[in-house]
Amino acid sequence: MNWHNPVRIQSRSGLLKTIQFEQSFIILADPNAVSSALKIKLEDHWGPQCIAWFNQPYAKSSIESAISLCGLIWPLMMQHPKAALLAIGGGTTLDLAKIIRYRLIDLNFATEVWRSNKLPQQYHRHTLWCAPTTSGTGSEVTPWATLWDLNQQAPEKRSWSQPAGFPELALLDPELTQSCPVNITRDTALDALAHALESIWNTNAHPITRTLAIESAKTLLLYLPQSLDNLTDLHYREKLSHASLLAGLAMSQTQTALAHALSYDLTLNENMPHGHACAIWLPMCMDISSKQDTQVRDALEQIFECSVNQANQKLIDWLNRLEVETRDLRSSPDGKKILRAALTSQRGKNFIGHADEF
């Protein structure tokens, strides 16, 4: 059993409005997640330690988005080589920050570096602090970032992953999530649920990750529907924030698996939000994996408090109530072909199930 996660975690409501830092920093923030009033309050609170504030307006963490932001931020980082980067936003903002923190000598080589997922000999790595404004990304406690390569004939999802890619500090402030609209609250929490469950039916799972994933999934199943009915209720937001953190910690050790491998095509071709695209496949993945591994069955029965056969239908019903229509690829030859191909992908190889079982 292995465990490595160096991220220092601070978590409490109102954290961002009270915390002080020992070094100067540059902010990258999602303007849709941080109101003008909060921005003014934070800038006043931090004073000159906050060197500059950059908005992150992009919907996807694409190569083009990263190029644009690096063109703005890297010159200032060059002037302040000891400055940290504070990312405030959802998964897109946090993932872009993980890329921007690695300042290269020449922006013209950035695309080649990112596509190869290999750093050159010369670069400067800035300290990174992450403050998620959604409960779902898990990016604040993982070392990798999603990078969408859209400007090519066949657009694809890439992963930027470095051994020292973990943020130094995760700042979890549930108050930041209170302004999330219902669709973002739902879809990001579904992503967290996928992180938890995918950490269970995973070849890299071990007792610690299973324990974290079980608690996370149970919390999300209980509190997400209540939070959707009471969007500004801080108690429910705190529960979702905690569950997202646990799922992120589990995922940081196992990575994701088959549901994520299948989700990327839906995001690219159907413009489906990431969490929704993952959730669609969860019951199918649950059914396949639970038939092949007793530890998976035991964990799922703990989460759903019923037999694994009942658990699968329970999850389908729960997702349907959230207006998520699940899919199953096993009913047609074409579907099985897609499924087998997904199992050979980087994420699919983490899945505990085997293609010869369906």
Q: What CATH number corresponds to the domain at position 49?
A: 3.40.50.1970
How sure is the predictor about 333, in pLDDT bands with cuts at 50, 70 and 90?
very high
Give me the residue label for tokens 């993982």. Answer: 142
Residue 274 CA from chain centroid, whole number: 9
Report in angstroms the alpha-carbon separations of 114 from 39, 119, 167.
Answer: 31, 8, 18
Amino acid at 8: R
Distance of alpha carbon 221 from alpha carbon 206, whole angstroms: 22
Q: Across the chain, where does the E strand assignment appear?
A: 8-11, 25-29, 50-55, 84-89, 102-104, 123-125, 128-132, 144-149, 156-161, 169-172
pLDDT reading at 77 higher than 70: yes
- Enclosing domain of residue 300: 180-352
Supply the pLDDT for residue 354.
79
Same domain, 67 and 132: yes
Same domain, 215 and 334: yes
* Mean per-residue pLDDT over the chain, rounded: 97
Average pLDDT score over residue span 338-350? 95
Average pLDDT score over residue span 254-280? 97
Same domain, 295 and 198: yes
pLDDT reading at 353 higher than 90: no
Same domain, 201 and 152: no
pLDDT reading at 283 higher than 70: yes
Identify the bridge partners of residue 27 per DSSP, sorted by sequence position. Answer: 53, 86
Say how many C-beta atoms besides its own lie within 10 A of residue 98's C-beta: 29
Average pLDDT score over residue span 44-63? 98
End-of-domain residue from the set 146, 175, 204? 175
Distance of alpha carbon 268 from alpha carbon 344, whole angstroms: 19
Same domain, 38 and 156: yes
In a domain, 358, yes or no: no
Supply the pLDDT for residue 104.
98
Each residue of 138-175: pLDDT tens digit? 999 999 999 999 988 889 999 999 999 999 999 999 99
In a domain, 216, yes or no: yes
Same domain, 207 and 347: yes
pLDDT reading at 71 higher than 80: yes
Same domain, 58 and 81: yes
Distance of alpha carbon 174 from alpha carbon 55, whole angstroms: 21
Supply the pLDDT for residue 17.
96
Residues 6+ apart with CB under 8 A from 48: 24
Each residue of 284-299: pLDDT tens digit? 999 999 999 999 999 9
Each residue of 10-39: pLDDT tens digit? 999 999 999 999 999 999 999 999 999 999
Domain count, the chain: 2
| pTM value surpassing 0.85 | yes
**Percentage of the chain surpassing pLDDT 70?**
99
**Which of left, alpha, beta for 289 (phi over 0: left; psi -120 to 50: alpha)?**
alpha
Query: Mapping DSSP to helix (H, G, I), strand (E, B) and coil, where does residue 186 land?
Result: helix
How sure is the predictor about 358, in pLDDT bands with cuts at 50, 70 and 90?
low
Same domain, 35 and 132: yes
How sure is the predictor about 347, in pLDDT bands with cuts at 50, 70 and 90?
very high
Residue 195 CA from chain centroid, whole number: 8
